Structure 1
């Protein structure tokens, strides 16, 4: 018996050492590497299951699927990109000029000829989405991270079923974790009515069957390849402000009409291919809603754990470096790494008005608590942190100077940087940037500015919790 236990302990310790070596080669951040190596060697019984369930930073199955798609459908992809060339903005026409580098990060081009509409909160967003679905002729592609089987969820599915009955191809992609309310029984019911529902799951293939930490956090709708929607809303009654715990749910989406809607459709098509293994019979002809005008310039930047480089981190670092006068950020989950913090500090040092809008109410307590520890690190006269008091703030947006804005799903945390599949609309247009800035002004008017004293006002236990939560930032 003693020999058996000794052998078992030896095997576990050896597995811990082997996993620690694996972590040395695969974990992307030095802090994360140190944490995993120490944990796996010192506490292998606890460290091994945690590491193999949550430690991976690369989603290899998705990478392989995308490589397969590129190899087997190269002609179609080339044809789609060729169709978009007529709308491509030359780098010298992009203002501000540094934003042109985002095309290299996104592997997409800024496209002109779009009409953009900022949609504030749930009623405006879902009224616009449902109205566009009602006009669909060929296809409706829907993707949300959280999908509730409640009033709003059934309203959306009923609209899709009605269009499916008219012969419109209606595809709905949910995340297997966030869409847990869509049980197999519920999905079978809507499939029987013509809605093609599929789940995006990281648990595909034997190599990735333990990878529980990856999520598809994208929230998009594309109708006929002509109009798209992108932003922070999920599908649930709370996003209409009907949950008394949160009250008003402050969120933002953007309606995109024009050629950039095809970039949204390309992202959806890739995710659908991974989940279902099917190439969509979609409309790939660019729609020009303003043929006699330049329209608004925009590109879609998708990122995720299958990226060779961390596109989300690179996006934020570059956008922060672009700022010369103004950098306003809204994020419900704000636990950035050292590189992002230093970039924000550097922006303030060079004279930029840096404002960060966070929620006053928490929906994820550890993330909310960790943000207090950051107040000390953001202590600078030109960095102003505001907490939204008129409900729960959930939108993810930013505006830089007078000509650049972005709205999407990316948060300032490790999940968005490295673990989630995310998407953002980047816009180079002074008019749209002014609308986003005006939106921020209204939010700031309903917020309370906080600073290092907010951390000082915490109890000793809360300070310990804030510092401990800050240490957990790489896994929050």
Structure 2
């Protein structure tokens, strides 16, 4: 008798060709970015069966549309109402207000059209590493009088995570509203007992898009990569630092972690509040009443000028990527970029090389060793082109550089959660704070210059001496860059 395999094997290959045919047709009809289309076609060619599986799991736009269909309805209902009630006056940009920041007028106007108003009444503190962030964060939590909203990609139930958890439960028992949102992939290690004890204390806890197959979670799309804390609608935190002991350099973790965060007090916190509500409503699947207490009238906090901008797979504009593009091309003298993951889109790469060729000094700082070999290899494939354009490249060696900072001239800086890669620009929910203040920018520049002391600078001549094997690995990984 013929075995089962002998019976079905003649049909396997034709069936596979039919599947490939429809996958390719679907890719073409979606009219997505040609680079991403090419990358998926390359994946199908190099990894025939695995490539198809990856496409069905992660590559289909239909999944994106289905996932965010209800969120779009919520946003449409809530967004305009929020703007009318809380941002209407601020979104009407006054020419006299913009005048001192004329160099970045295009950027300011672009962002305000995406519900990112220019706010003037703020006091901003730059926090270097977890050692500076967590004490300030804990103080703000202790002083909460009405509500706490916390949204994090990674929240670990370790030393600092346990301390934050205990304080949140204590505040909830005091009658303070506590809403907590964690990402289903970044915070995958949290146990059911963690959720149970917080909910028992009165904390409203939700998980952003929980996953069913942990083995596939390292690169699942559409993650909530934001790090946001809002206390009483007056104090906010955002930046690159998650809730985990690894971000505190107290010798309990072997690797030094270099990161940057912000504490914001004032009007810009209202935009953080708005962004929290959007994701919270998406997860709990119903609309909240946005009482005035969440957007309180504020006294004078300071004179720091701030715009908060967000992006995500449900956002109409690729706002963070486009804002980076506008900001970089607005540079007159110098651009400084620190990022842990550098896989730029063609437009961002062109912007960097073009301004560098226009007598604008450009400095790029990335980790000497990444936490992902394939991402690092893809990043390194851009180095020669950048060096040839006159960009100065620095590899940070003291530990892992996780800071996401752009400083332009001496009058603009961006600090936030977005890396300079396809995933942050197109797939993840991100948030960045844009600062138009010479003193704040100078603080970030000083930190950048201090970090350069822990770097090695690469020259074009030395870079070209890499082995053929290394160059080939980088080139292959670059082909897959839009999928990383």
User: Same fold per TM (> 0.5)?
Assistant: yes
Structure 2 match to 1:327: 335
Q: Is the 8 A contact 2:91 2:112 kept in 1?
A: no
Structure 2 match to 1:155: 163
For structure 1, list consecutive stretches of 5 or more residues without a partner in the other structure.
205-210
Deviation at 1:457, TM superposition (A): 4.7
Alignment of 1:398 onto 2:406:
yes
Figure out how many residues of one structure are paired with residues of the other and give that number: 468
SS at the partner of 2:295? coil
Alignment of 1:355 onto 2:360:
no
Q: Per-residue displacement from partner, 1:34-56 (whole Å, max 9, x unpaired)?
A: 23245547865333211011213
Tell me how far apart the structure 2 counterparts of residues 322 and 234 of structure 1 sit (CA, whole Å): 31
Structure 2 match to 1:208: none
Aligned-residue Cα RMSD (Å) equals 2.6
Alignment of 1:471 onto 2:479:
yes
Q: Per-residue displacement from partner, 1:154-211 (whole Å, max 9, x unpaired)?
A: 111111111111111111111101101112232112211222221111769xxxxxx9
Tell me how far apart the structure 2 counterparts of residues 272 and 261 of structure 1 sit (CA, whole Å): 16
Residues 72 and 313 of structure 1: CA distance in aligned 2, closer, same or farther (over 3 Å)? closer
Deviation at 1:93, TM superposition (A): 2.2
Tell me how far apart the structure 2 counterparts of residues 56 and 244 of structure 1 sit (CA, whole Å): 42
Residues 243 and 369 of structure 1: CA distance in aligned 2, closer, same or farther (over 3 Å)? farther
SS at the partner of 1:156? helix
Tell me how far apart the structure 2 counterparts of residues 380 and 38 of structure 1 sit (CA, whole Å): 28
Alignment of 1:49 onto 2:16:
no
Q: Per-residue displacement from partner, 1:294-325 (whole Å, max 9, x unpaired)?
A: x2221111111223342232122111111111
Tell me how far apart the structure 2 counterparts of residues 307 and 259 of structure 1 sit (CA, whole Å): 23
Residues 344 and 41 of structure 1: CA distance in aligned 2, closer, same or farther (over 3 Å)? closer
Tell me how far apart the structure 2 counterparts of residues 454 and 364 of structure 1 sit (CA, whole Å): 24
Q: Is the 8 A contact 2:153 2:226 kept in 1?
A: yes
Deviation at 1:261, TM superposition (A): 0.3
Tell me how far apart the structure 2 counterparts of residues 301 and 244 of structure 1 sit (CA, whole Å): 34
Q: Is the 8 A contact 1:138 1:169 kept in 2?
A: yes
Tell me how far apart the structure 2 counterparts of residues 126 and 438 of structure 1 sit (CA, whole Å): 22
Q: Per-residue displacement from partner, 1:253-284 (whole Å, max 9, x unpaired)?
A: 11111111010011111011111124445533
Alignment of 1:285 onto 2:289:
no
Q: Is the 8 A contact 1:27 1:55 kept in 2?
A: no
Structure 1 match to 2:264: 256
Tell me how far apart the structure 1 counterparts of residues 7 and 112 of structure 2 sit (CA, whole Å): 59
Deviation at 1:286, TM superposition (A): 4.2
Which is worse superposed, 5-14 or 232-241?
A: 5-14
Tell me how far apart the structure 2 counterparts of residues 466 and 38 of structure 1 sit (CA, whole Å): 15
Structure 2 match to 1:437: 445
Residues 228 and 304 of structure 1: CA distance in aligned 2, closer, same or farther (over 3 Å)? same
Structure 2 match to 1:207: none
Tell me how far apart the structure 1 counterparts of residues 90 and 426 of structure 2 sit (CA, whole Å): 34
Which is worse superposed, 32-41 or 194-203?
A: 32-41
Tell me how far apart the structure 2 counterparts of residues 259 and 273 of structure 1 sit (CA, whole Å): 22
Q: Per-residue displacement from partner, 1:404-444 (whole Å, max 9, x unpaired)?
A: 11100111111112111111011222222222222212212
Tell me how far apart the structure 1 counterparts of residues 381 and 243 of structure 2 sit (CA, whole Å): 32
| 1:299-448 superposed matches below 5 A | 299-380=307-388, 382-448=390-456
SS at the partner of 1:405? strand
SS at the partner of 2:255? coil
Which is worse superposed, 271-280 or 158-167?
A: 271-280
Q: Is the 8 A contact 1:80 1:284 kept in 2?
A: no
SS at the partner of 1:357? strand
Structure 1 match to 2:216: none
Tell me how far apart the structure 2 counterparts of residues 17 and 243 of structure 1 sit (CA, whole Å): 54
Structure 2 match to 1:69: 74
Deviation at 1:224, TM superposition (A): 0.9
